[in-house]
Chain A
């Protein structure tokens, strides 16, 4: 689509990050864990995996929401909404934005998700099986609407002048939400945006991936010859996006700039990725950012660790980039697949990689698959001077979304 990169508009920067993940809560802990190549794989506890041959996952252990959720009755929020709300609080605190500034500005809150509160739906089904439909618990039924992942944040933070929209585009939804915030700020619809993704592990999705033979028995090893699939994970990543002018005016620390993003739809298969759609999405994102493939220093891959994804994603990147590939890592090797949170947690990882000068590793890596002949930065992070990073997200429904992040450079002019 021509003309995208000439779109005038405000520059948009990341000034706060809130991460709730299986390897750390809060951006410092999260970033340190990425740099250390940590993971926290353990048997699932949120639902019973009895009868499955294996049941490892990447849950957020010992999550204590009351630390961040202070104004809302926790029983009114499902686990995914608790994640999104806590992550938003963390992002606001990390951005150092005070309550007056928050309330005075016009805000967009957009949270992406795969499952919303499907964990509660699972419980309602169990109650129906046990006692018929009248036995379903009203408190659970009240919190299943996906919209609540976003509105709960506004309520908790006391923000009235806000547009709230949950984006339910499955596993790329975090990138979609970041894109929504980027456009809202560029068009002047919002002064700042709390954007990202959230999901909680649930039986439905674990079973679904298990049935598709896409759950790894032990751990997730993207791009490895012997990879066997994903581990289901959970958490939330919320980014505070604001216009550069606003960030400069209040002297905010700038992690990185959002340079652009791209969306495409495969229109090919409901659950399998399709190479042309992925290539087109990356191409659109780079054009929107005004960036050439040769300028990209790192790709944060969707990198689920399934046979199909990693091979098709590698081919799609090669198709666009040719022979000179940048390093390509999968943070899912550490985080598991946190579904709607995945691309937003990865975006936070990209912002931290740019800020702190390192490349997060692809852990659990033993032997690179010849069909994925890339430098995936196996097992140990490396120091790196990163200027431009590409963050990939693909999803069921052929919903592709790629975000391009850049180091904030005051001399750069808006694309």
Chain B
């Protein structure tokens, strides 16, 4: 039994919803723009979601203390639900990838404690946004999703680990369908953490947003956009992630009896390794999502939605395979084997 992707949505620097995202991907639009001085960050440029204002998007009720990452997830989930309408909210699981929740919310809270006259003079309304599962909890409340609700963290490999976690929820019957996404926000705190975390030559333009997919078991989804055959993970122990990706991809193909020639597209991290197996044409089919900046924990799912955006207009992709790779800087590697849907039913 495998997993079927029946729908997806996104909020990204390309804009709102599936069409805006697909247009950005297919037009290979560069979304980076100068960062205003109000952010007081070391970045010159960043890729931000255009005009994202929490209250403008969600209204005033229940949003007074909602942080950006939660709002991105709540709005993306709203778009996905509007497109699909899940059957039972009690049996709908929600899995969200994160890096550490909102670094900004957590650090603001500590700052308030350290700077206040009394260390406990902090706003109780800010408490919910200071835990890493804040966004997933808000999505559940906002959309009344009462099934399993989980938050998963695995660096840039988060999206594929989250898909595998969602797969287990579905295969064990813990959920009838799962909305699976990953969200990252741009902030002063994230920018500075990233600045200090990386050496100068490794710094990237930061991006933000949320990608989300609706998943069911293959038998429950009539017209899947794609099916997830497998996710294979490893931890790279020798600081040679390209070799780890290469080994993982080869193993995935062998285990699932897929010839590299059947693979229509390959994308993600460590492209050199993918080129070795699949050649340039296959690897260049889907644009690299650095178009929307380094979206960290959301990068793998954005790469997946980019793949689905490109294959949707490519009749020859029908029924063929795609491979996604993701490499976290702590050495976690994940690769996914995906079978693209039949074109005539999309």
Which A residues form the contact surface with B (CB < 8 A)? 1, 3-4, 7, 49-52, 113-116, 118, 121-122, 124-126, 128-129, 133, 136-138, 140-142, 144-148, 150-152, 154-155, 158-170, 176, 180, 183-184, 186-187, 189, 203-204, 207-208, 210-212, 262-271, 277, 280, 284, 288, 395-399
Contact = CB atoms under 8 A, between A and B. Distances in A.
B146 A167 contact: no
A271 B127 CA distance: 8
Of the listed residues B127, B138, B231, the one surrounded by the most CB atoms of chain A closer than 10 A to its CB is B127
30 contacts: A1-B174, A50-B119, A113-B132, A114-B132, A121-B103, A133-B42, A141-B195, A146-B99, A154-B235, A155-B235, A159-B237, A163-B161, A165-B152, A166-B153, A167-B152, A168-B100, A168-B152, A169-B136, A169-B149, A207-B110, A208-B109, A264-B148, A267-B144, A269-B141, A270-B137, A277-B146, A396-B134, A397-B136, A399-B149, A399-B151
Interface in B119-134: 119-120, 122, 124, 127-128, 130-134
Chain A facing B: main interface SS: mixed
Sort A-B residue pairs by CB-CB distance and give the 9 closest, nearest first. Answer: A397-B137, A270-B128, A265-B149, A141-B196, A168-B132, A263-B148, A163-B233, A146-B153, A154-B235
Nearest to B132: A168
Interface in B128-175: 128, 130-134, 136-138, 140-141, 143-155, 157-158, 161-162, 164-165, 168-169, 171-174
Given A138-B197, A210-B120, A270-B128, A203 B133 contact: no
A16 to B, nearest CB: 20
Nearest to A55: B119
Given A167-B152, A187-B168, A203-B113, A116 B132 contact: yes
A176 B150 contact: yes
B140 A165 contact: no
B38 interface: no
Interface string B171-183: 1111010000000
Given A7-B173, A167-B151, A126 B114 contact: yes
B330 interface: yes
Contacts of B118: 51
B197 A142 contact: yes
Given A162-B234, A211-B120, A270-B128, 13 more contacts: A116-B132, A128-B192, A146-B100, A147-B157, A151-B330, A160-B237, A169-B149, A170-B133, A265-B145, A267-B140, A267-B149, A397-B137, A398-B137
Given A1-B173, A396-B131, A165 B110 contact: no
B117 to A, nearest CB: 9
Given A163-B164, A165-B154, A396-B133, A267 B145 contact: yes
Contacts of A124: 107, 193
B152 A161 contact: no
B101 interface: yes
Given A161-B234, A165-B154, A212 B127 contact: yes
Contacts of A140: 196
B24 interface: no
A256 B92 CA distance: 31
A122 B100 CA distance: 13
A148 B330 CA distance: 7
Interface string B219-255: 0000000000001011111000000100000000000
A130 to B, nearest CB: 10
B97 to A, nearest CB: 10
A125 B158 contact: no
A124 B107 CA distance: 8
A204 B235 contact: no
A295 B230 CA distance: 38
A124 B189 CA distance: 10
B81 interface: no
B237 A158 contact: yes
A265 B139 CA distance: 11
B234 A266 contact: no
A204 B132 CA distance: 12
Interface residues of B, number: 80
B193 A144 contact: yes
Nearest to B128: A270
Contacts of B134: 270, 396-397
A165 B234 contact: no
Contact of A211 (B124, B155, B231): B124
A7 B107 contact: no
Contacts of A210: 120
Contacts of A162: 233-235
Contacts of A395: 133
B8 to A, nearest CB: 21
Contact of A3 (B127, B136, B173, B237): B173
A166 B91 CA distance: 24
Contacts of B165: 165, 180
Contact of A164 (B141, B188, B332): B332
A184 B141 CA distance: 28
Contact of B111 (A125, A183, A187, A211): A125
A399 B151 CA distance: 10
A150 B109 contact: no
Nearest to B137: A397
Nearest to A161: B234
A145 B133 contact: no
Contact of A397 (B111, B133, B235): B133
Nearest to B334: A163
A203 B110 CA distance: 7
Contact of A136 (B132, B140, B161, B192): B192
Contacts of B152: 165-168
A279 B29 CA distance: 49
Contact of B133 (A138, A152, A168, A186): A168
A232 B188 CA distance: 29
B77 to A, nearest CB: 12
B115 interface: yes
B150 A167 contact: yes
